[in-house]
Structure 1
């Protein structure tokens, strides 16, 4: 279990992470999404004790990361595949980590095979690894202690299509065995395939969170009007959830008949009214993180 509770990080007047709260539960893969600069990496760094929060807390298995007695045996972390000792071989990196964690060194060979690093590659200096090889080594390091939780930031960077498919199978299997996976990635298609839960942040704040099936169900009604601003105001006053998905298009969390009545009472003519279609993750992501639309809705 991973728990974020009102987690906030400020740098002077700039708020990188703003009152973030959510949970990643055992047996699930939670996709943690947002545009560049949204605060994902900062939130993960606070989770694993690399950056102190300004306020709030982030815990793993009910404890702050620093309070875990042997964190590598409980939490596998991959935040930056390039942050590995370039002068050591891949095998040396894992062997030293096994000694520190008290893991049987025999596990190293099995993990090298599991992540697809050959015997020859494992004896090569890490400075000579490609990004994809560093990612595979980083995943092996995260799995070394046989943890209950995985925290991964962009683990598919540098992987070829076969490597991405392999990683997807690995993470799905880990969660299906009862593990907790918190996965940040810009590869929306891969997140959509593997994740059970989704958390989207923008400008440091959570803008959507919940089960993938619920968030992508496309519930509600799509409505267009020649005066969408007046319609949005009328619907908002009527207590309906409204979000803008285009210049003249609104997504409303209510049935068509009720929307029509509110529009008629407000004297706003509708140009179309239809049930929302099931949406994909890319559509949801773009709708919720479009700064122009977000600013207009807030105005």
Structure 2
């Protein structure tokens, strides 16, 4: 079946936050033959930035402390509402998947290394790098490129997001499985993050003022994100038919679903939006073009956004125990 991975959905949501991004360090290596190749990019692992706090991070380098934070957003793949309600078309020419930040290249960092005959890697200074780029007519941007065949998907799709309010604005200070480097922990404390404790142990809690900035941005991003592409011809409205919000995962599954019909010679599926479940269901006007009997309102997405804001605002992050 056609699908978009949860990782891609998460990236699209994070990019829709309209918040300052942490600078990523992109690494390149030039081997002894003068050929440039990409190395793994590095994250600053700094949760004072919304994309790091919400998206999670991991940094593991030789001879240094490994730090990692699980994202408080658990996101499923975006997949067909029913196997018979989605299609997949292969592209005639392969496209590339990329960790691409070239649209904000000056904001991020780019490191370039050269490897000598003994395999020793050393960072190139700016003057030598400028000369190498000019000599080889190359550019080494803020992107991590992975070529491969891609495809196009059509149909009705659904995805699920679980927001863990317990860790949404709490960063663990556990030294056995650290989420913070000492210098970052010191920085957070100086910025007003306070000591607290959640079900997982001691933590630092994001200040209320900062929470009140991030929550509306996160709610808006969850409701209004779109898959982005650097190819103009791939634009799609990705119109939303319905959103269901609940603290019960089963009710979410019941609310928006596909139903198999066997009243014809060939089995077929129909989409169903069920407002009788124990969830808040928000239906947009365009749903009536796909779902029989669906009646939507023009402010459905605005109300869904506000419902998410209310739920996140009302949680007591500072008194969880």
TM-score by length of 1: 0.26
User: Comparing both structures, which one devotes a greater share of its residues to helix?
Assistant: 1
Greater RCO (Cα-Cα under 8 Å, separation 6 or more): 1
